[in-house]
Structure 1
Amino acid sequence: MSEVIELSPYELLGGPAVLRQLVDRFYDIMATDPRAAGIHAMHAPDSALIRDKFFDFLSGWLGGPQLFIEKYGHPRLRARHMPFAIGEAERDQWLLCMYQAMSEIAMSDALREHLEEAFFKTADFMRNKE
């Protein structure tokens, strides 16, 4: 009997090198696209630390190494985002940056659809204002 091995989204994406490209492109878009000015203003001028933390978080969230948990403990995403007023506009700005970054990374349609849905659900969960 053969064993079926399913790859994680992390592996399907291409592992750490491609994930780093995605994270860096996401923050580059956020910093340069005027449509993302609202969420960009919520971030520190130097994005090096948040880029690393987001990379670490996404690594585990996508089924790769649990780098964020190893360094910082449970992500507590909603609690970490509570100091920021996040409504539909901020959610949509975040998704605009992520979807644009994803469009520049080669991946299967199935993976893209899966990630878009997962990112939407997570970003929508971060909303804390009407």
Structure 2
Amino acid sequence: MTRKPIIPYEEIGPELLSDLVDTFYGKVARHPMLYPIFPDDLTETTRKQKQFLTQFLGGPNLYSEEHGHPMLRARHMPFPITYDRAQAWLECMAEAMDEVGLEGKIREDFYNRLILTANHMVNRTGPDEEGSA
């Protein structure tokens, strides 16, 4: 007998994922290292992140259907992302996961994938100031 694979998106569900992203961007908007590289209005950023994470977690390909291949590193290249900023991003996500009650193995696996992704986005060394090179 074959077991059905676990699909993280189905385990988390669209409602919890939406709450997670909303909570996360509330933190990003207030984080001194992160808010300078994000738009003042995070509505569209939040919408795209929900699409991306849906797809990232094995749900429908919402992001690719509307925006094409994610090309994460290329899309993030214009923004000065240092190791410290990647860590700050991850801290905001971990706090958001705590607040919405995402826990257990599904959280651990999801967060570990985000660690790899965040570290892959690093494109600058040096100070974490807007426009730093």
TM-score normalised to structure 1 length: 0.90
Query: For 1:64, which of 59, 63, 70 is the aligned residue?
Result: 59
Give the match for residue 71 of structure 2.
76
* Equivalent position of 2:18 in the other structure: 20
Does residue 118 (structure 1) correspond to residue 118 (structure 2)? The answer is: no
Aligned partner of 2:2 in structure 1 is 3
In structure 2, C-alpha distance between the alignment counterparts of 1:64 and 1:127, rounded to whole Å? 26
Matching residue of 1:31: 29
Deviations 1:101-123 (A, max 9, x none): 11123344211211121110000
Sort the Cα spacing of 1:82 and 1:108 in 2 relative to 1 into closer, same or farther, 3 A. same
Deviations 1:36-73 (A, max 9, x none): 22211111111100000000000000000110000000
CA distance in 1, matches of 2:120, 2:93: 16
Structure 2 spans left out of the alignment, 5+ residues: 126-133
TM superposition outliers: structure 1 runs of 4+ over 6 Å = none
Identity %: 38
2:76/2:121 contact within 8 Å kept: yes
Alignment of 1:38-49 (within 5 A): 38-49=33-44
- Letter of the 1:87 partner, please give it: T
Unaligned 5+ runs, structure 1: none
Partner of 2:89: helix, strand, or coil? helix
Q: Give the CA RMSD over aligned residues.
A: 1.2
Task: Encode CA deviations 1:9-30: one digit per residue, 9 max, x unaligned.
Answer: 11111x2111110100000111
TM-score norm. by structure 2 comes to: 0.89
- Higher helix residue share: 1
Query: Cα gap change, 1:108/1:101 in structure 2, threshold over 3 Å: closer, same or farther?
Result: closer
Q: In the comparison of the two structures, how many residue pairs are matched?
A: 125
1:88 Cα deviation after fit: 1.0
